[in-house]
A and B are shown apart, each in its own frame.
Chain A
Amino acid sequence: MIETLKQTALKALAALTEAGADKGLCSVQYKITHEFNVDGGEFSLFRTLFDKQLKLNAVAGGRKGTVTQNRYDDETLRSAAATCLSAAESAEPDENWDFAPMAENTDVTRGATDPDLDRLFFRCKELLEQVKERFPKVMIEQFVVSHEEIFHVVADTCGVLHSTHEGSYTLIMMYSGHEGDRASSFMISTAQTADLDRPLIELASIEHDLASAEKQIDTVNPSGKFEGTMVLTPDCVSDLLGSLLMQFAGEDGLLNGTSPWKDKLHQPVADERITIGLAPLDERIVCGKRVTEEGFVAENFDIIHNGRLNAFALGLYAANKLHLPRGKNDSYNMVMAPGDKPLDEIIASIDRGILVGRFSGGKPASNGDFSGVAKNSFLIENGKVGAALSETMISGNLADMLFRLRGVSAEQVQSGYTVLPYAAFDGITISGK
């Protein structure tokens, strides 16, 4: 299959050149998905999908166009190339568009390329039985488990020709705690794995999260407003700090000039105990992206290293435009360095605060101001985690927050997508009704 896709990619590049492209970049993918769905706690659906994807990028006279289709027969390649050039012709010239230069080409095979569907089904049933037995108050709204086998080739007119053949299992589960008519907020657990050696309940923080859902059925609402410490679970670190990094260190905020970090490269932007980056090659990441959308071989990099802004997450166009280095990968595989204290010790140091499992909020403002509802959250008082909370809002400023670090936990959760600790920040406004 990989050889066929390579031939297809080379044909596509030839079609782009023939249509008038000065430079071309092509991505060709074939994916087979097997997926079991559980709805309302019962098996409901078994899907098998055969998907193709073709993505063509062309630059002609400094003008760029992009076309994506889900076919790559010869006729489609010719028509897609023509459409791509037609789109490019309408654009204004911009000398900053470019693709990866020639480098050593890579052929990677990894993960579970041969799905074991009988075992996957067994693991799903096992999880449902374990939830029923050990977490009887938990109701599973939806549980989707799948195996994806992906064949992928990226090639460009500079001679880049990378291939990947990989397979992995993923799960996403939405559930809540129930007792009579009382219910917790919904929770979502996700994980990715390259094998089925362990029960699914042991992946990521699923077991912990299921127990947490049962504790959230009865809630309290903190009265009034106070300033306290916010402890983010690893899932919430991914959500809130992920938003922060994309907004402050990503392309949009830099290209439009609104990022508060636009002039802060190599300067302090956070407490010096914070090191966080994108690391698709980390051995704890499952099938992390090895080749970027622009044809570069991916490398790990820190966005913040010991509190200093180490790099921006920029693609090649934005990097050229802004005269800054490009990001070394374009994955979402966030890895944050652990701290030296266990979570319990950090919580024991907090007089009043909140443990936040999920942040339900609007996109933070471009200046970093955020406010939203703390979901799946618990009050922290006198160094102990107390009652679950409802209708509790949290607000602050993301840029300021990074300097108010109370601690990063020694524990990290590996979801397959990310490797993240708990992180605690002071000076957050917490308000009840």
Chain B
Amino acid sequence: MIQDRLSDKKALFAARANTELRAQRNTRRVAVLLNGNLVNNVRTEQFGVSARVYENGVYGFSSTAEYTDETVKAVLKAASENAAFLSAHAGRGKGPHPHLMPGRIVTATDLSDPEQRAYIEFIQAIDRYVAAKYPDLISHTAVAMSDSMEKLLVVSDGTDGHSILPRSYLYVTMSAAGQDGKPIELHRVIGGGYGAFTQNYDNPEACYAEIDELYERVRRKTEGVYPEAGNKTVILGGTLSGMLAHEAVGHTVEADLVIGGSVAGPNLHKRVGSDLVNLVDFAHTAFGKPTPLPIYVDDEGVAATDAELIKNGILVGYMNNRESAERFGMTPNGNARAFLFSDEPLIRMRNTAVLPGTSKLSDMIASIDDGYYLLDTNNGQADTTGEFMFGVTFGYEIKKGKLGRALLDTTISGVAFDMLKTVDMVSDEMVWASSGMCGKKQPMPVGMGGPALKCRVNIGGR
């Protein structure tokens, strides 16, 4: 656990400035077995302290990898000097942020940090299972990974915090020969989520059923077909609707991107989806359970609450930091997050999800005469205009209300605020994912989720 060398430095904070001190440790453990060969076996740790000072509408920031009483004072001084430099040359004539009630939230506990042997032995067991049961594969890869982020935060006004966010995952990738001999590939995150690796994975056999299912999908994909290109009726599975929530809508409603000209600017309080569409960026609790990656206090000292973004199809809010919330007259919900000790907080998503509806997936499939059921993705990108693109790695044809042949790799695209208006059925079950990293100047672990959505999108063929 990070020792507190920060709280007693509050006495050094300047009046009429917002100041944050943050000590932070990030860890990452990775082991990769490719066809039985251990090609990656790495343990990484990054630890240090930073200070950020807000004065006259601009920020100064400094960080160092040393964590002593002297270096804490040094980064505080350097951040103050940087704020003064920028204030003198480009100040905006603004005072401090609106005051926040003081508080302290401590959720950090001692984190189990398994030795590398635990990761390697686990994926060796997975590798042996795959190699023995599926010798027809061209290749198979098993990756065991964990990362964690411990933060000790002290702020001039708002909520101090001490938190830890650990997560761990097993990834399995399989390649098989397709109809023309060219490789067909699929990967899957098996289990995992919040917690240390040995907490999430204590028995390789518990993963075998999902591995078998992955193989079955690979097999079906080797007999797969390209979809017919065009604007089609599809069902986006929960993984894809979560991606949609994050990439196509979430980024456009981050207030810094709104200020930069995103499509959400002129659409606040307007219809952006059908009545069935509801979207929330959850902080730490959703549907009565902890979110995949719970955030209790952000890195500006804002106690985290849910950010309601789309309600019954109407865009009702943005995700903010303290500065943008003041600009838009909104309440900050705790979306300012930094990845490393040396990173400044940016407006980031936490656990962004489309809310489930009332339809049964089987009824949704039965309602489509000619369309597609899209299940897996390997990539998603979106524009500030809301135009999005998702790579689709697995799905099925739907013909006359029934699932048909598997699909080869394809891409779907659309414009989020147009596409969401075509949503006419929303399933009553949802899927969360949390294994990915969002990229926006800094990486950031995020959760995303959603139900199955029936809608229209552009789908690429060949």
Contacts and interface: CB of A to CB of B under 8 A. Distances in A.
A87 B43 contact: yes
A366 B180 CA distance: 13
A362 B138 contact: no
A42 B342 contact: no
A321 interface: yes
Contacts of A69: 44-47
B90 A256 contact: no
Contact of A373 (B34, B121, B124, B387): B387
Interface in A229-279: 251-252, 255-258, 260
B92 A255 contact: no
A366 B178 CA distance: 11
Given A140-B260, A183-B261, A363-B391, A43 B39 contact: no
B383 A186 contact: yes
B391 A362 contact: yes
Contact of A71 (B47, B230, B263, B379): B47
Given A40-B256, A67-B43, A361-B391, A90 B120 contact: yes
B352 interface: no
A141 B458 CA distance: 28
Contacts of A108: none
A156 to B, nearest CB: 18
Contact-size category for A: 35 or more
Contact of B58 (A46, A67, A225): A46
Interface in A342-378: 360-363, 365-367, 369, 371-373, 375
B65 A71 contact: yes
Nearest to B257: A141
A186 B260 CA distance: 10
Contacts of B381: 360-361
A50 B74 CA distance: 11
B320 interface: no
A178 B413 CA distance: 22
A71 B44 CA distance: 11
Contact of A139 (B36, B115, B261, B413): B261
A360 B461 contact: no
A176 B178 CA distance: 42
A39 interface: yes
A144 B34 contact: no
Nearest to A87: B116
Contact of B411 (A42, A66, A317, A371): A371
Nearest to A92: B38
Contact of B38 (A52, A70, A91): A91
Given A42-B90, A391-B415, A371 B344 contact: no
Contacts of A87: 41-43, 115-116
Nearest to A221: B458
B115 A90 contact: yes
Contact of A52 (B39, B65, B79, B411): B65
* Ranked 6 nearest A-B pairs via Cβ: A362-B391, A141-B260, A367-B182, A256-B139, A43-B90, A362-B379
22 contacts: A46-B58, A46-B85, A47-B61, A64-B41, A65-B116, A70-B46, A125-B90, A141-B261, A176-B385, A186-B383, A257-B175, A258-B175, A258-B183, A363-B391, A365-B183, A365-B185, A366-B182, A371-B462, A372-B391, A393-B460, A431-B229, A431-B230
